[in-house]
């Protein structure tokens, strides 16, 4: 295991407060936090890092559970990483955000080799807040399924997602937000960039139960096609059983704006670089939502090519 | 510096320029006036290399290293590096790209092309400071996304700021005066005048004689239906102001 460990990207090991899962198992020798630390009983300002490494040509499964107790605040960075393209990894992250608690959850799928199937199941109780930023930097077979249940009055969910694919990469994101209590709110924004022959699928479902009166929900999916053979399938869906709610959803798919591109080029910036600038401008709206400086620092080298 | 010979151009099969001839020498200021839709912006964009317009006939020659060369094959960014600057009639908003990183990228690209040393951010900010001051622009404009949410006049000032940073040989200023208040007009004109020298030339597209009070043109051209139908000195602009275009276009 030690030898393999050497091959893992060093920048991830610079992170403090980490819980490491290696090929599907909790690895105490690489972690500096214990699994029990994922029950948050006291607010903490420094982030907890969950690192999922996969490095073997095998199928691995694992589940991790995070609880943020009443009134507590926490930041969790969850990073998925694999360097074996024959590997297959199934992960489940279960999250409870209790009354009045707040969890900021940054989820990163670093450029991923192999198959990844990730599920997040989140329950948010009265006045609880779940804020998530999800970055998918691409892989050959990625599927992320998130279910968020707003179970107490005034519970809130906010997700900002960014997906960037190239070559023949495939990625599917399914998000379901269930409003199950009155006056719950949620905002979901997913931005996608697909280049070459890559394909992204997005399904966003908002369910508002009959009891969830005065709930407010917005779902937006914006897609940029960067090549003729790139492809996006976007399916926003609403199921509303309460009659007094605010709910909006939308989906747009387009190409890089040619006038913006020409403007940069007319200032001497070569086309390729001008495109990169526009793309990083496009992603910055999502990346700027990341509140953890250490995470931003390790993302910087990756973001130049993958975000 | 620039020689346009019998230039015809179209967009989406619509012919817009129908035989333009124009010669601009270093040190000169040319004003181009003309009714709405006559092709002024089209001409400016073609010179800057906008890909939507297609040249169908004629030649655009530009002096590079002392020799006149066709610019047809040059990408927009290469033209910019050769000193052609287009001040946009409608500057484009670029969300998520900060003005400072945009200006610095453009500036350093140019430095590299000219083989001079690039600047780091701190040094570049110092370099910008007097330019911002001369345009009466607050430094906070550097942190905002390019042109996003700028007022009409602020966008035009930002164009002039870019011009000052890039110090072009040939400036094409497409209605840079439109939407400016009197003070801003004077400031912008000062900006243009400061850069004016024997080695560079300016083409001002304008609807208003008042700009020409601040920036003295050597020549005034009237563009109508894709052709220059009349050329003269600055008195032509005064005549247009007084009598409109009818007397020229009806000839
Ligand atoms: N993409 C396009 N498709 C069709 N027609 C176009 C297109 N772009 C420009 N034109 C037409 O070309 C003509 C010239 O436009 P241009 O913008 O060059 O005029 P202008 O002289 O700059 O006018 P103004 O004084 O209003 O700025 C106009 O009739 C315009 O409608
Ligand atoms: Mg115009």
- The whole-number pLDDT of residue A110 equals 86
Using one digit for the tens of pLDDT, what is the confidence trace for A136-181?
999 999 999 999 999 999 999 999 999 999 999 999 999 999 999 9
CB atoms B77 and A268 under 8 Å: yes
Q: What is the ipTM of this complex?
A: 0.96
A32 domain-assigned: yes
Is residue A290 a part of any domain in this protein? no
pLDDT tens digits, residue range A196-209?
999 999 999 999 99
**A140 three-class SS:** strand
Instruction: Closest CB to A281: pick one of B94, B106, B113.
Output: B94
- Rounded mean pLDDT of A35-40? 95
**B54 or A307: whose pLDDT is higher?**
B54
Of all ligands present, the nearest one to the C-alpha of B43 is 1
Spans in chain B with pLDDT lower than 50: none
Q: Which two tokens stand for residue B182?
A: 């009197």
Number of structural domains chain A divides into:
1
Using 50, 70 and 90 to split pLDDT, how confident is the model at A1?
very low
> Taking all residues of chain A, what is their mean pLDDT, rounded to a whole number?
92
The Cβ of residue A130 has, within 10 Å, a number of other Cβ atoms equal to 26
B39 Cα nearest atom in ligand 1: 18
Asked if the model's pLDDT at residue A301 lies above 80, the reply is no
Q: Is the pLDDT of residue A10 over 80?
A: no
Interface test mutation site (partner B, options A266, A280, A303, A304, max chain B beta carbons within 10 A):
A266
Domains, in order of start, for chain B: 2-249 (3.40.50.300)
Q: Do the domain assignments include residue A278?
A: no
Residue A262 lies in a domain: no
A223-249 tens-digit pLDDT: 999 999 999 999 999 999 999 999 999
Contacts of B105 in chain A (CB under 8 A): 269, 273, 277
Residues 6+ apart with CB under 8 A from B78: none
**Domain boundaries, position A110:** 2-256
Contact yes or no for B5/B21 (Cβ under 8 A): yes
Report residues whose beta carbon is within 6 angstroms of any ligand 1 atom: B 11-12, 14, 16, 34, 36-42, 89
C-alpha B61/C-alpha B69 separation (Å) is 5
Residue-level pLDDT at B194: 85
A269-274 average pLDDT score: 96
Q: Does any domain span residue A302?
A: no
Q: What is the pLDDT of residues A39-91, one digit of tens each?
A: 999 999 999 999 998 887 788 888 999 999 999 999 999 999 888 888 889 99
In a domain, A287, yes or no: no
Interval A20-30: pLDDT, tens? 998 889 999 98
In a domain? residue A210:
yes
**What pLDDT shows up at residue A83?**
82
Q: Which residue from B17, B35, B40 has its CB within 8 A of the most atoms of ligand 1, so it is best to mutate?
A: B40
SS3 A216: strand
Task: Provide the terminal-to-terminal Cα distance of chain B, rounded to the nearest Å.
Answer: 31
Q: Can you give the pTM of this predicted structure?
A: 0.88
The alpha-carbon gap from A283 to the nearest alpha carbon of chain B, in Å, equals 8
Could you please report the per-residue DSSP string of chain B? -EEEEEEEEEETTEEEEEEEEEEE-TT-EEEEE--TTSSHHHHHHHHHT-TT-EEEEEEEEEEETTEEEE-TT--HHHHHHTTEEEE-SSPPPEEEEEHHHHHHHHHHHHHHHHT-----HHHHHHHHHHHHHHTT--GGGGTSEETTT--HHHHHHHHHHHHHHH--SEEEEESTTTT--HHHHHHHHHHHHHH--TT-EEEEE-S-HHHHHHS--SEEEEEETTEEEEEESHHHHHHHHHH-SHHHHT-
Q: pLDDT band at residue A2, thresholds of 50, 70 and 90?
A: very low
Q: Is the model's pLDDT at A3 over the cut of 60?
A: no
Percentage of the residues of chain A whose pLDDT score is greater than 90: 81
Q: Ligand 2 centre from B167 Cα, in Å?
A: 23
Whether A222 maps to a domain, the answer reads yes
């Amino acid at each position: 295991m030690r030898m393999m460990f050497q091959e893992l990207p060093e920048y991830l090991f610079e992170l403090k407060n980490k819980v490491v899962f290696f090929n599907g198992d909790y690895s105490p020798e690489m972690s500096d936090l214990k699994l029990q630390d994922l029950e948050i009983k006291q607010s903490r300002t420094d982030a907890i890092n969950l690192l999922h490494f996969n490095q073997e040509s095998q199928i691995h499964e694992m589940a991790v559970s995070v609880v943020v107790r009443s009134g507590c605040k926490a930041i969790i960075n969850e990073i998925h990483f694999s360097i074996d393209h024959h590997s297959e990894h199934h992960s489940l992250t279960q999250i409870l955000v209790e009354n009045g608690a707040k969890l900021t959850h940054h989820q990163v799928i670093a450029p991923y080799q192999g198959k990844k199937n990730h599920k997040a199941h989140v329950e948010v109780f009265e006045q609880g807040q779940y804020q998530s930023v999800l970055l998918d930097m691409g892989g050959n077979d990625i599927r992320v399924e998130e279910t968020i249940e707003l179970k107490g009055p005034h519970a809130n969910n906010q997700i900002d997602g960014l997906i960037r694919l190239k070559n023949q990469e495939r990625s599917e994101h399914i998000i379901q937000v269930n409003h199950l209590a009155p006056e719950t709110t949620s905002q979901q924004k997913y931005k996608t960039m697909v280049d070459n022959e890559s394909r992204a699928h997005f399904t966003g479902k908002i369910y508002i139960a009959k009891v969830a009166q005065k709930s407010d929900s917005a779902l937006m999916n914006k897609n940029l096609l960067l090549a003729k053979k790139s492809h996006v399938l976007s399916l926003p869906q609403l199921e509303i059983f309460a009659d007094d709610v605010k709910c909006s959803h939308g989906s747009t798919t387009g190409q890089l704006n040619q006038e913006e591109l020409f403007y940069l080029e007319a200032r001497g910036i070569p086309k390729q670089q001008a495109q990169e600038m526009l793309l990083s401008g496009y992603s910055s709206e999502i990346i700027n939502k990341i509140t953890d400086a250490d995470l931003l620092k390790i993302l910087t080298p990756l973001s130049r090519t993958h975000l | 510096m620039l020689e346009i010979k019998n230039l015809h151009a179209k967009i989406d099969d619509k012919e817009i320029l129908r035989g333009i001839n124009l010669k601009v020498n270093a040190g000169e200021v040319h004003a181009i006036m003309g009714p709405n839709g006559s092709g002024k912006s089209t001409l400016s964009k073609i010179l800057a290399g906008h890909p939507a317009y297609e040249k169908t006939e004629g030649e655009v020659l530009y002096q590079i290293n002392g020799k006149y060369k066709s610019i047809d094959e040059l990408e927009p960014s290469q033209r910019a590096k050769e000193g052609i600057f287009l001040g946009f009639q409608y500057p484009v908003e670029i969300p998520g790209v900060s003005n400072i990183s945009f200006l610095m990228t453009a500036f350093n690209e140019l430095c590299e092309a000219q083989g001079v040393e690039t600047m780091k951010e701190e040094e570049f900010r110092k370099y910008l400071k007097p330019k911002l001051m001369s345009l009466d622009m607050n430094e906070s404009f550097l942190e905002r996304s390019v042109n996003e949410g700028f007022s009409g006049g602020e966008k035009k000032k930002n164009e002039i700021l870019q011009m000052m940073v890039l110090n072009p040989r040939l400036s094409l200023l497409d209605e840079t005066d439109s939407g400016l208040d009197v003070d801003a007009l004077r400031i912008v004109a000062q900006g243009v005048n400061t850069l004016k020298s024997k080695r560079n030339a300016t083409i001002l597209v304008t609807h208003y004689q008042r700009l020409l009070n601040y920036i003295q043109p050597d020549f005034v051209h009237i563009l109508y239906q894709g052709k220059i139908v009349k050329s003269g000195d600055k008195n032509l602009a005064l005549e247009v102001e007084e009598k409109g275009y009818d007397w020229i276009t009806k000839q």
